[in-house]
Every structure is written in structure tokens, then in C-alpha cells.
Structure 1
Amino acid sequence: MSLLSQLVTLWICSAPSLLLAWLVGRQLGLRVGIQMAETLNCSRWGIPSKKGFFQEGDVIIGGLFNIHYVPPTRDYRFTQQPDNKPCTGLQSLPMQYIYAMMFALEEINNSSTLLPGVKLGHHIHDSCSLPAWALQAALSLVGGDMPSCNSAAKYEEEKGIGASKGDQPVPLIIGGCNSVTAQIVSRLLVPLSLPLVSYTASTPSLSDKQQFPNFFRTMASDVYQARAIAQLAIKFKWTWVGAVVANNDYGLMALKVFQEGIQRAGVCLAFVETLQRENIVSDARRAALAIQASTAKVILIVAWYTDVMELFLQLDKLNVTDRQFLASEAWSTSSDLRQSTFSHKVASGVLGVAIRSSTLPGFDTYIRNLNPLLRPNDHFLKEFWEKEFGCSPGIATASPFASLPPCNGTESLWAVNNLFTDTSQLRVTYNVYLAVYAAAHALHSLLFCPDVNSSPGHNITCSFTNQIKPIELMEQLSKVNVTTPQGEAFNFQGADITGKYDLVNWQSSPEGQVQLVLIGLVNGFDLHLNESAIQWSTGSSQVPVSICSEACPSGTRMATRKGEPICCFDCIPCADGEISNTTGSTQCVHCPSEFWSNVERTACIPRQLDFLSFNETLGITLTAVAVSGVTVTIAVFVVFLYYRQTPMVRANNSELSFLLLLSLKLCFLCSLVFIGRPSAWSCRFQQAAFGISFVLCVSCLQVKTIVVLAAFRSARPGAEALMRWFGPGQQRGSVCFFTSIQIIICIFWLSLNPPVPQPDLEIPGLQVTLKCAMTSVMGFSLVLGYIGLLGCTSLLLAFLARKLPDNFNEAKLITFSMLIFCAVWVAFVPAYVSSPGKYAVAVEIFAILASSYGLLVCIFAPKCFIILLRPEKNTKKHLMAR
């Protein structure tokens, strides 16, 4: 912290207690102490009263305005007593604020209904745009005439500067030209409960009545303008916005409110740069480089217009001309900015918020009739006159233009056109006017004045029964609820008023000038905008685009990038079965189970039923294999039938062989039932045909194996009766018995809980398989389990009979066939479970065909080979040989 800042802080902290002690001492008549303080502090306390304009009255209203902006140089070496010099750099627009205050006071003094019989005076000081000067001026106002040295009094007499002749402190101050000054002065006045009414302080923190109970303002809080700008960003879908703000409460609080307004609307800040008045050149350069490097095309600027001018100058040097600027009220209406050539180049089409423009009837005439010859004590007007006309009006006062020639008296403001005389759009000026009327109405209520609505013509005056107490005036001020002469309803809501703004647009005229065009209004938090009237930075009616990432098209979703704001994202295609049918979707939606996403992932379409068809390659192949199996089986049947009297056929139990061939043919044929569109009938029939056909086939093999074992056992002495238990009748009965068990299982299963045709919605894809769903896994397991039991029994029996002495032992063939049969069905289970859709059906058909071919080839191929190709072995002698 600099030495100056430390001194100002010390002065601020100690000022309230010093002031209170001085006032109490004054009322108790402690003149001795005052005279001592006068000797010690005259140089510090007396200076602000020299730069003022005073008019006496029954009630005095204080005023603080930034008339000058160039502070005097000071020597902080502490080698001599400080001597404050006057400020320089007269500002035209704040001059207008002063005369708006005096214009309002004259209206009130001439009114017969508002404060009748009371004359309002004013003590107006120049705060020189410095909080320290504002503090000194405030101390002078609340304490009446401050103690002054003889030299100071002599200086006033010699120089003729107007000063207050009375000894009356003000009960209210209109001032606090910015938020920082308003905070400092308000804290100073809190112990005195003296109200401060600001016309430009807008930081939201001043709304806190706990910290600033004496603060009021006719300028809306920045909450309203920040929310309005946030609504503009949301309305025009600017999701990627850069921000440059003043590094103080004004800029930082406005940025905070703006962020709160956009956080739920998907708007992000690309960058935030701050501007410090003391380092404005370097800060503006840094901010300009950030704007140039950023992809954000819309830039929010919340700063004082002089800072913005430096920023635009730096942007002009970098040739950055394609940005759309959003302006706060502090610079949106600045004529200096609009008239500068570099601003016109880099900041065309500015869209901004401005303090609501109003008119004051008669104010233009009042301004243009001002003349320093008629106001000899008005040194502000004299200085302005000297600056504007280059001559001295002939009043003997201290002036920076002392060497000017005298004016000839024909000078007039009617021919002057500048910020001081321009009354076409009164913004802050009207806020000053409102502040004076608010104070007047509070005084009217406090002084027990008659009703302002009473009929004119009555001789009425206000009663001065008590001296005005600031705390009572502050209470009345909080209750003010009136209508101004312009018909505008006005009241304080705590410390604030409802935000009313104009939405303005910088537009180029045919003459090349930049005009301020009204395009909408802000009333509270409601925004009313005429979009067709906007001229954008692009020079067309096309709204600029400012986004970090292009909106994701339909069929994709947004995926935020790691470490980046949510406005920066990648577009990822929706997964299978998911869609997004809107632009900028944050997530994809799952399709219902009966639907699937189209190729573009933009719509859910009905899933197509798929099944193993006779028309497709796989179906044709399996059908051909099955038909081939049936054909081969019939051929073998014909061979066996033709050679039924030969030893080979008769030795292998021709009846069971024919029954086995019939069952194999049924096995081949039942596979065809699995091909085609499943139906309730086909789902039941295919499982029943499959289960019964294979049980019939395996039963025949098991009985044939038992017959082989019985035949060899019966050849032993004493075992002749064994074959009587396995004669033809018993063999047929055994096959029927084993098969009937499977029939019973199938009847119960298919009656109680049969398989039904059902689409397999669990498998992803546009095509959904229509298959026979096993509603009862137990029934299907019993069918397969029973076939497996018979197969394993047959394999075991055949394995036991494989080495029986015979030249042609059929048990060996049965053993090989059952090994293949069991291997196929053991492999079937995992393959069936893991196969998707219609391929599971194909696996089952393949298992049926493979096991059927295994039985057919292993059992009948050797026999057909001997019957057809080796007839010499088809003899009883050869078969009986060991």
C-alpha cells in the first residue's frame, strides 16, 4: 500500500470520531479546544470550502460533484506544512449535474405546495474525483463553517470566492459520484445518521442496510444492468463471452452478478481481464491481447469510459475489428468514445445498457440562459465561460485563465453545443434531479408541511417546531413515495430504486457519425427489445455468433473436454440403440425395447423380425444337408430291405435296424421344423419331434446293444433261457417303453408351459430374432437330460460289448456312434447358449444333423460296404468266424 493510501485510510478511520468530538465540543461551548484545533488543522480543513458554490436558505442541502478531474500535485516528503492546491481539468457533463440540482431547488422554492414558506439553499463542493477530497468536503458540510486561519479568511476575501456566511450544518448530502467514494463518505456519516443520496453509485454492496444504513441512491444497483446484459447473452445464444472489467467493486460485482445470471443457461466466460486505473496502459494492452487471442466474438466491458478508450486504442493497434461489445452504463453513452476514430474502427455496433433517458421541461432554457455576470459567486460557471469563450467575464476571482482578455458581453450559451448544453438525453442529470425532489419530499413530511395535494391559493407554510435532525430526515427519506413533476412514480426500496435502463446501439449514420439509437428498455428484470432495429458489428442484421464449440447435430451428444468450461465440448455419436433428435443434446436417449436407432441415430424405428429362413444361405444349406440325410437314410433302408435275407442283415436284428433307420429319418426331418418363421404350433412340434425322434433312435441302439450282450451270454452253458427275455416282442416293448417316457415328458411340458414364439429383445441390433422362447427351462432340460441318459447308457453297454468274440461285432459300431453322439450334444450346450439370435437355432439344427449323420455313418456304412462291395463276406461262415 502506498504512503498516500495509508494516509487516506488513517484519515477515514479517524474522521468520524474526530468529527463527533468536535461537534460535541462545539455544542458544549469548548471554544478553547476549537481554537487550538483551528491553529493546527486550518490548512487541512479549510481548503475544500474554497472550491464551492453556496446559496443560503432555511434548509441547506449539501452537494458533492466531480467538477474537475486533474488532482493537484503534492509533496509527500514531509519537509514543509502541506498546502492544498486547487484541482484542474474542468468537466462539462458534471457541470450539468450541478445546475440540475439548482434547477430543482428553484422549482421547489417557487412551488406553493412542496415545502411552502421554506427556502432551500445549497452548499456545493468539488470533490475532484478523489475520495480524500470528498471526505474533506463532507466534513465541511456536516460541521457548518469549519475553523479557518486568518490567512484562509483573508484569502477568501481577497479572491472573492463564494462561501457560506452562516454557521448551519447540512442535514443531507447529495453526492458520492462513484461507488468507492459513496462507500467511504457513507461510512463517515453513519455515526451522525446523516443521509447520503447518490446519483451514480451503483455497486450492489451499497444495498446492505447493515453496513450503510444512511445510504440512498437514485441510480439503480448494478444487479439490474448485469442481469439485463446476461439476458441479452442468453437471448442471442452467445455461449462464449469474454469479459473486461474494472478492478474495483463496480466491475467485479457486476461480473459476479452476470455470472450468476448465465450459469444455468449454458453461457461461459472465455476469459476475464481487469483494468486498474493506475496501470491502465499495461492492463489495457494485456486485455487487448486476450481479446485478440480468444475465439469469443462477444466481449463484455464494465469499466469507466476513459479506461475503455485506452482499451480501444490498444485494440486498434492490434487491428482487432471483428468483436461485438456489450457495454455497461459507464461508457455506453460516452460521446468521447463514439467520436474517436479508433473507437469507430474497433467498436461498431456496440450494444449497451444506459441509464434511462428523461426530459426536464424548461431545463434547456435554464442552462442556456446562464451567465456569470448574473451569478458573481459562481466560480464554476466563470471557469467554464473562460474555457469556452476564451475571455474573462470580468469578475475578480482566482482563475487559471487570468491572462485572458475581458468578454464583450455578447457571449451566450445559446450558440454552444457540447455536453454541458446538450439536454436531449438526460441520464445522470435526471438522477440528480430525482435526488433533490426525494430530499424535498422527506423534508416536507418532517417539517409538518400541509399535504402537497392541497388546493393552491391557500396561505400555507411549514412549521419549524424543531431543529432538523438528520436521523429523522433519514427515516422520512426511507418512506418517500411520490410522483415527480414529470409523472414518474418514485420511491426507495431500502437503499435502492427499481432499475430502469435504456438499451442503446451504436449505429453509423450516412454522414459517418456514430449515433446512439434506442433499441429497447429494461424495467426491473424485464427486458423489452426491438431486435430488428439493431445494427451489429458485422454491419448487417445477422446476429453475431460467439460459441466455443459448434452445437452438436442430431444423432450426437455433447461431451465436455477435461479441464475446460462446459461450453467447450466434443460431439460424440450416440451408441447403438440410442438417439438424439435435437441439436445440442447433452445426452442420448435409449429407444424402447421394440425399437432401434436408425443409421443416423436421429429416430427410433421398429425393429425388424429376423429368423432362420428357407430363403437365406444358411437355411438353404441346412435344408440341403437334412434332405440329403433323409435321402441317404432311405437309400440304406432300401438296401437293407432288398438284402433282408442275407446273413449281414439278419445277424444285426433286421427289425431293430429298420426301426433305427426310420427314427434317423425322423431325426433328419425334425430339423426342418426349426427352419422358418416360428409359430405357436411349430415351437411345440419341433421340440416334441426332436425329443421323441432321438429317444426312439437311442432306444433302438440301446436295445440292440442289450441283444448283443444277451446273445453272447446265452451261448454259455445254462444260459439258454436268457434270450427268451430279449425276444422280438421284448425288444419292441423295450423301445416303446423308453420312448413312451419321453412322450410323457413332452406331453406334460408342452401342456403346462410350452415354448412360445417371442422376439429376443435382449440382443442389440435393428434386427431382432423371433425364436421359440423356453418359458420352462426345466421341461427342456428334462427332454435333453433323458436323451443324454439313454445315450450314456447305450455308450456304456456298447463299450462293455466291444470285445466280444465275433468277426463282425456291432457293439463296436454302436460305441463309435454313441461317442460321436455324446460329443456333439456335450458341445451343443455351450455353443447354443453363446450363439446370438437365429444362430442358436442353427446350432441346434447342426447338432441334430451331426448326431444323426454320426449314427447313420458309424452303424450302417460298414454294413452297406460289405453288402454292396464285399458280398463274399456277407456269409454266415464269415460272420461266425472268430
Structure 2
Amino acid sequence: MQLICLVRAFLLTAVVFCLSPNGSILIKVGMLLDFETGIGDMTDPIEAVFLRIDQLNKQNASLIHPDAQLVPTLLNNQAVTKQLILDTLHMTETDEIFILGTGASSTTIISSLILQNYNIPMCCGASTNPTLSRKDLYPNFFRTIPNDNAATLTMAQYIVSNGWSKIATINTDEDYGNGAISSFLQVTAQYNITILSRQSVETNVDANAANNIAQQILSAGARIIVYFGMQPEYQIIVDAAAKAGVYGKGYVWLTTDAIAGITPTPSLIGTIYLFPLERADGPAADAFDAYWKANRMNMPNPPANLSSVDHSGAYGYFYSSCVDLMVLGMDALVKANNNNATKLALGELNNQMIVPETFSFPNFQTTTGKVVLDKNGDRSGEYGIYNFQEDLSYPMVAKWIDGQEVPIMAYTYPGGSSVKPADSIDPTSVADYLQPSGDVLGYLVEFFTAVGALASIATVVGILYYRDKQVVRASDVNTGLVMQFCIFLSWFNLLTMLSKPTRLTCTIDSILLPITFTVYYGIMYIKNHRIYSIFMKPMERKKISHLITIGLGTTFAIPMAIIVLIWNVLDGPKPAALAVTKGVYAWTCSSNSTNFQNDMVAAISIYCAVVLGFNLYIAFKTRTIPSKYSQTKMITLSIYNSICLFAMAILISPGLGFRLKAAIKMIAVFYILLFNLLSSFSFKVMLCLRNKGGKSTDGSGGSGSSSQNQTKNASQGSKGDLKKNSDNIVLIKKLGFFSEAKSRSIFAENQDLVTFCVYHKTSLEDKNGVADANGEVWKFQNLKEFEIEIASETQRKITINKEKYIVTFADEAVAKKWDAYFQRWSLYKHSASPSFIGGASARSNEVRD
């Protein structure tokens, strides 16, 4: 308070010192300013007004009247509303005919409402609230600084002129911030500016709230951020934005005069703010600056904080322009009638002072240039564009005049860049991708591809070299080579992950794996179905060849080919840089329609699941076949693991980065292909290498002679047509949805007992097969019901104790022999007495697999 009183005393003393008392007509001008205003220290505007009045008084030849003198009076309300009201009323009683002030819009509104009752005009060089533009409420008010609406309009025009159309906005939740953002949003709609993110923050924002703001900007992908608010909040938000990476290279932060005077810090480098153009290049401004420099330090007790300044500050120019327009208006009234000078001094002409008409001189050069007032008494928007530089200065880098930018010097954008950023992130310029060289993950992709391709080639060479070995021959060399070729091609799908994708690599990526997958597992299914027919249905005469196996297996790829063809023709995947996480982009292949692509991927996945289902089914059917003929059990294991890997990747991918997803894909594909490679033929080639020079192996390390001896011994039965022999192999199937036909060796020890023994082959070379000791036994004595019906030449439908079976014999002759045998059972059963038919049920031994 003591400092304020001293400054006030100094200024009142300066009136006597600066002004010449030669004029007899004293025109009193009041100044209602506050030292506690939100726009900063008002000492500079006060000094500017006093010096400008002194300068004009000494030019009295051109000032209103030769005998006129301007007498300024200053009252400081200290931003206290009650004191402001008292000061304003006091000036109405001391014959002030014109008022300058105040600093803040809130205090200006109060003063204007009081002064209009006394027809006293009021001019302000600091208050920017758009409410003061309403002439129905404030008919006596005009200003030499553009209002906030002009600032928001200029901001929108500036944004569009730089080629930007997508922005994020931040405003503080107070009068200025809320009013500015409301006006700005209306203007942006007219200029087709898209708001990617809009956030409002409380005053005294904390670090956590500021960090949330930065994260929202990052998520929105905005590069141009517009701030409407005060200094303290801006500094905190900028610090948080820098930590989040949204205040740096590639970003632009724009704000307004509300942050003018903020203490420069390294974190603010690159900030651009608009400030009303306070000084115009011209004679008026030059003359005022010269007068300021020559006379200011001659005033008693100049404030120490401004002792080194050789020109007025921004608000000083605005208030000195108020003095210029005031004098011009009064001069016009006096020149209309010489007697008006005295009336003016007495306040008798106040009713003739019409705002803004009396004070509108659009062609006159004031210290701030030509001040053009609109019908509301608002100055048109001419702005200086200021930019925080790396040396912590913030010079004017351009001017905004008549809707055009007039460059002065180069910009410095956040991060020290001189290149103007785009209005939003250009994914194509920042998207990540795996590079073939200089990238660890890229090297791994190349390494895995090379290892896999070489392993496939080595396996094929081994297959061809050991094709005469029984362990290799057992797995069908021809179909194996085709399957190995599918695996070999699949390795190169990994290479589509490298470099930026092209339309060709995207097409290959959408086709190669699905097609090779279905061909591989299609052939695997047909091959194992063929093995199943040979081992489990040995009496079937019609067997498919290797070429038919390959052909039928390949047909599994036809539906897949149709799916990928539809995908690529209608809306095929193309190179696209998409966001994978917040603010992080990566190159990928994507259709124009995400929904369509998801449908296609779902169709591919469903069909792959169907093909896998066939293989799982045949894996169950061939569970008793020696593994050297069927790798389905190992393939099934790889299928399970593959499904788990892909399911895991899909489930956790939303939170993963691009490179982690790429690593998962690489490992999954490598695992699938390598497992299939090893489980198909590689282990057999290695087995041949390990047993090189030894006996021919059967796949388990032992000799193959034992199975042949077993077959020979097991196939020798008792003499007789209906005893054990290879002609009595049948397929027996119990009627039912889930039952399957089983190979059995049927023989009759006597007229009352028929045995169905489990029959199977142990190798492809086994022509007779093996009949186990266990099986199902039909006893004539235990029958309650027996019927036999001819279904075809080789098939018979037999009903035993209400259980129905279909029995298929080797040929018609064998079927007729068993017809004759069962005829006695059927006839005797029908003529038997009930007491004979009763008894224990037939014994049934479970078939051992």
C-alpha cells in the first residue's frame, strides 16, 4: 500500500511538472486505473497518458484551442469495487468531461454504467470483454483495443491462412476463457475448422489435470492447440504437454494477449500469441517515442522498474490513442464554434459527444496507427503476432492487418523447429515399420525366414535322398513333397512384414498363408483318410492314389481362394498408416471398410477352423495307426498351440505396441511352420541319418521283421471255409448316428459260436493283417432274437436281441457261405420253445485299440 501511495503521489506531482499552466481554459480529463488489475502493472499506461497529454499541451497551436490546457486527474481504486464507485462519482462532481480507464473489463463495466448517467464519454485501452460492445447498455463507451471477439475471429483467420483446419482447444473456466471459447467456436464453424479436442480447466489447475489434458490432445491426434486463458494455467499445461510429447517438434501452440507478459522460460519456446497491434510505424509513433525518451526520465521519481525503458509499453500506446481520439473529437466540436471551447470546459457540450461518431477518425494516424471504430465503438482487429524464441525473447514475427499476415521474421515452433507443422499428425510421415536393415526385429524376420526356407530345402533333399527307406516311404513321398512346398512358400510370408507395405505385399499377405494353410491341411486330411482306409478298412478294394490324394487335398483351398478373391476384388487390403496406440502409428494393410475387412478375416478364420476340425476328426479316427504312417497326433498338437498363440495375440493386442504385435506374429508363424516341418518329415530324415548304415528302421528304431512274422502267425487259422483266414474279413457297423464301421475277422469254431476278432494292419506291406484274440462273441444258446436280411450282394442286415448290425463281407461268395451258416440259427430260433431261447445274454468283449 505504501508503494501504491508513493506512485500515486508521484503521478499527481508530475501533472504540475509536465503541464504548462499558460492556458486559461482548463479541460479536465479523469483517469480511473487500478494497480491490482489482472492485466498487470498499470504504471506504464499512466505514464503514457501523462506524457502524451504534456506533448499535446505543448503543441497548443493544434490542440482544441490556443488557450486550452488538458488537466489529467488520476484516481487508483486498487481493484476494490466500493472504491471504484466512489472514485467514479467523485469525478462526476469535479467537472471531468472525459474519462480514461479502467484496466479490467469488470471495473470498466461499473464505471461506464455510472458515467453514462452524466453523459461523460469513456475510452479504454485494456478492457476487451465483448459485453462492452453493446450500445444499448454502454452508449458512452469506446476503446482503442479490439475486443475478444475480434481476437477469436483473427485467430480463426490466422489458422485458416496457414492451411490448418484441425485443432484442439483449451480454455480456463473463468469469464475470459469461457467467453473467448464461446465466440471462437462460433467462428470456427464459419471457417470449417474441425475441433478434434475441446477441454476446459479450472483455474489453479494442478499437474494431474494438466497431464490429463495433454493425454487427451495426444489421443485426438491434434497438432495445432489453441489456448484461451491466463498465464499461470498456461505454464502448467505447457510443462505437462512437453512431458507427454505434445509440446515439441511437429506441434503449434497458439494463444492470445492474456498471456502477454508471462515470464519467458525454455519450456515456452515456440509459443505463438496474438496481441493487438499497439504501435504503428509512422510519424505519430516515432514522435511519441522520441518525446517519451527525452522527457520521461525528467519526471520526478521515475519508477525503478521502468527506468531502462526507452519507449512506452503496449497498453501505454493504447491509452495514448484514447487521448488522441479524445482531443480530435473535442477539437472538432470547438472548431464548429469558437465559443464552444468554454462550454466544453464547463461540460456543457457533453450531450453533443456521441459515441463513437464524435471520436471516429479512421484516417488519422495515432500512436497505434489508424484506429477504425465500428458502430459499437470497437476498434477493428489489427494484431501483432509474437513468438517465443530460443534466446527467450518474444519478438513480433508478423503483423495481421486487413485479414492478411505481413511477415517480419522467421517463426520458431516448439522443439526449435523452423518448419511449419501440419494441422494434424500425418500418419504416413511418422508411421513405424520394420526395416530390413538397422532394425533388430527386421533382422530376426530375415533370420527366421532364411532358417525356415533352408530347413524346408534340406528336408526336401533328405526326402528325395532317403525315399527308398521304409520310414520315409511310409509317409507317402509324393504328397509329402507337395506339403513341404506349401511350408516353403509360407516362410516368405514373413518377408511381407518388412519395409513399408505396397499393394503387392498386402495382396500376397492376404492370400499366401490362407491358401498354403488350407492346401497343407487339406492334403493332410486326405492323406490320413487314405491311411485310415488302408489300415482300418482293409477289405475296401478301391484305394485312392497319391495324385488323387494331392488333388482332393488341394480342393480344400477352393473355398479359401473364393474368399480371398472376393476380398481383394471388392475392397482389397492396401497400405495404410493407422494408429496402434495413443499417438503411435504404424504401417499396415487395411481395406477401406474396416467392417468389410473384419468380415473377410472372420470368414478366413472360420474356414480355417473347419479345415482344422476335419484334421482333428481324422486324428481321432487314426489314433491306433502307427505314428510312422500318420503324423496327425503331432500336427494336432501344433494346431492347439497355434490357436492358443493367435487367441492370445488377438485378446491382448489392443494394448500392445506395433513392434510387440509384430514380434508375436513373427514367433507364431515361425512356430507353426517349424512345428509342421518337423512333424511332417524332418524328424524322419534325421532318423535316417542317425541310422545310416544300420538296419532298415520302422520308425521306432527296431526291425520291421517282427510285425511281418506277427502277421503271418496271426493270419493262420484252422482249416475250413468258415475258420480263420483272410477271406473272412468283414466290416461290422452297429446302426446308430455315432457308430462307425470296424474291421473284424469273423470265424465260427462250431455251429453254435461265432467270433468277431479285432482286425487291422501293422504296415503298408502287411497284406493279410492281424486278428487279435479279443472280440465280440455271438452264442446261439443265448439268443432271444435273431434275424438276417439281405441288404445287397455283400451286405447283410442282422438283428440280434433287438440290436441291429450291418455286416459287409469281402465278396458275394463269402456272404452266401455265411448265409447258409446263419440260416440254421434263424430257422432254429423261430421254431425254438421259449424255455430254450431264455438264458444269459451274449458275452461281449470290448475291443482293445
* TM-score where L is the length of structure 1: 0.42
The structure number with the bigger radius of gyration is 1
* TM-score where L is the length of structure 2: 0.43
